[in-house]
Amino acid sequence: MKELRMILKKEFIHIFRDRITLLLVLAMPVALVLLFGFTISTDIHNARIAVLDHSKDSQSQAFIQKLSSSNYFQIVSYPNTETEIDFQFKENNIKLAIVIPHNFESQLEKEHNTTIQVIDDVSDLNIASILNNYVRSVVLDFQNEYNESITHGEPFSITTKMEYNSNMESVYMFVPGIITLIMILVTALMSSITLAREKETGTMRMLFITPVKKIYVVIGKVIPYMIISFISTIVIIVISVFVFKMPLNGSIFFLLLLCIIFMLTAASFGMLISTISTTQLDAMMITMMGLFLPTVLLSGFLFPLNSMPMVFQVLANIFPAKWFILAIKDVMIKGSGFFDVWPYLTILFGMAVIFISISLKMLDKRN
């Protein structure tokens, strides 16, 4: 125990000497969460669109009015031909064009049926599908209003309820993801790289010659970064709750316990990386490829998991991030308790146990 304390002391001295790195490690999470929180939004406001109105009658005007009064669109041009639309897409950066057919009004009145054409720039499919959805809702609105004006109103209606996030805040999605990313960056990346640095510069050999148990050297490396990442996590949670109004419906203590368990998993992964890599570049690349990338891509934090090919859905299960994000969302947003999330906790803890035992084996082999 005394040995461990010595190693810890040495590690903290290193950390506090390299002030710039410490500052980077502490400031980066805050900057990232603020940036993500303020900039990432899957809602689109005032998308630039063009409207080609072939009929120019009172109903088409009413429809255009409906489009521009919605928050979604900003009509930047009224082209006369479809070739002009192409030009608008390429030069004027419009995201969508709407073509109102000839005789719009008379089609509505006589045939009770008309078709509005939507031209999507699907080189960005995300934006296109979000905008299509907006167009749909504007058209539905227009149709209902028109019908109400000629009949006695619809007897039938649909109500919608947005459960867990009635204001549709994008931040609900991103905060759990950012917490995960930061914990991985700080705990796994930092500890594996600093261990690799000691190998690269040869100081590791000096430590291993001393009677200090190897496992203490490794644990001593990992604990300080767990502490730093724990501080960062608390800061992120505070920012997301107070600045971004992220709910905290579950127990705060349970949330912190969850974070500690995930940190253990991340740290044990860092340990494993450091036992197999010899240079800082190695450690960094393995962490990036083996942990960072899967966290961004396969955790369900940015991209819907169940839309992916089966191989990747299965693959996602072996990375800790997916389980942690599920658990943290449940606790923060849905207010789940231990009985709801214990399976995730068990998986994370099990992963930590596996990683630690493999790295211990690897360390023994070196003896």
Interface with other proteins in residues 29-58 (CB under 8 A)? 31-32, 35-36, 38-47
122 binds other proteins (CB under 8 A): yes
Tell the smallest beta-carbon distance from residue 86 to other proteins (Å): 8
Sign of the torsion formed by the C-alpha atoms of 287, 225, 230 and 268: positive
CA–CA separation, 290 and 268 (whole Å): 13
Tallying the residues shown for the chain, one arrives at 367
Token readout for 311 is: 């191989």
* The one among 58, 65, 106, 129 contacting other proteins by CB under 8 A: 129
Scanning 120-128, 229-237, 259-267, 268-276 for contacts with other proteins by CB under 8 A, the matching segment is 120-128
CA–CA separation, 177 and 139 (whole Å): 35
Cβ atoms 100, 60 nearer than 8 A: yes
User: Of 113 and 367, which has the nearer Cβ to other proteins?
Assistant: 113
Considering only CA atoms, which of 324, 165, 199 is closest in space to residue 260?
324
By CB under 8 A, the residues from 208 to 247 that bind other proteins are none
Scanning 216-224, 235-243, 266-274, 280-288 for contacts with other proteins by CB under 8 A, the matching segment is 280-288
CA 270 to chain CA centroid, Å, is 22
* The one among 5, 56, 136, 245 contacting other proteins by CB under 8 A: 136
User: Of 9 and 136, which has the nearer Cβ to other proteins?
Assistant: 136
User: Of 168 and 353, which has the nearer Cβ to other proteins?
Assistant: 168
Tell the smallest beta-carbon distance from residue 357 to other proteins (Å): 27
CA–CA separation, 104 and 115 (whole Å): 8
By CB under 8 A, the residues from 179 to 208 that bind other proteins are 185, 190, 193-194, 197
The upper half-sphere exposure of residue 282, i.e. CA atoms within 13 Å in the direction of its Cβ, equals 15
114 binds other proteins (CB under 8 A): yes
Tell the smallest beta-carbon distance from residue 16 to other proteins (Å): 14
Q: Tell me the three state secondary structure of residue 73.
A: strand
CA–CA separation, 254 and 265 (whole Å): 17
Tokens 């190695």, located at residue: 282
Q: Which residues contact 247 (CB under 8 A, 6 or more apart)?
A: 241, 332, 333, 335
Tell the smallest beta-carbon distance from residue 12 to other proteins (Å): 16
Tell me the site size for other proteins, rule CB under 8 A. 106
User: Of 60 and 268, which has the nearer Cβ to other proteins?
Assistant: 60
353 binds other proteins (CB under 8 A): no
90 binds other proteins (CB under 8 A): yes
269 binds other proteins (CB under 8 A): no
Residue 262, beta-bridge partner list: none
Helices 2-17 + 19-39 axis angle, to 10: 70
Tell the smallest beta-carbon distance from residue 158 to other proteins (Å): 5
Tell the smallest beta-carbon distance from residue 344 to other proteins (Å): 11
User: Of 17 and 366, which has the nearer Cβ to other proteins?
Assistant: 17
* Residue 289: C-alpha distances to residues 124, 273, 354 (Å): 26, 11, 20
Cβ atoms 30, 235 nearer than 8 A: yes
Interface mask (CB under 8 A) for other proteins, residues 322-351, using x and -?
A: ----x--xx--xx-x---x-----------
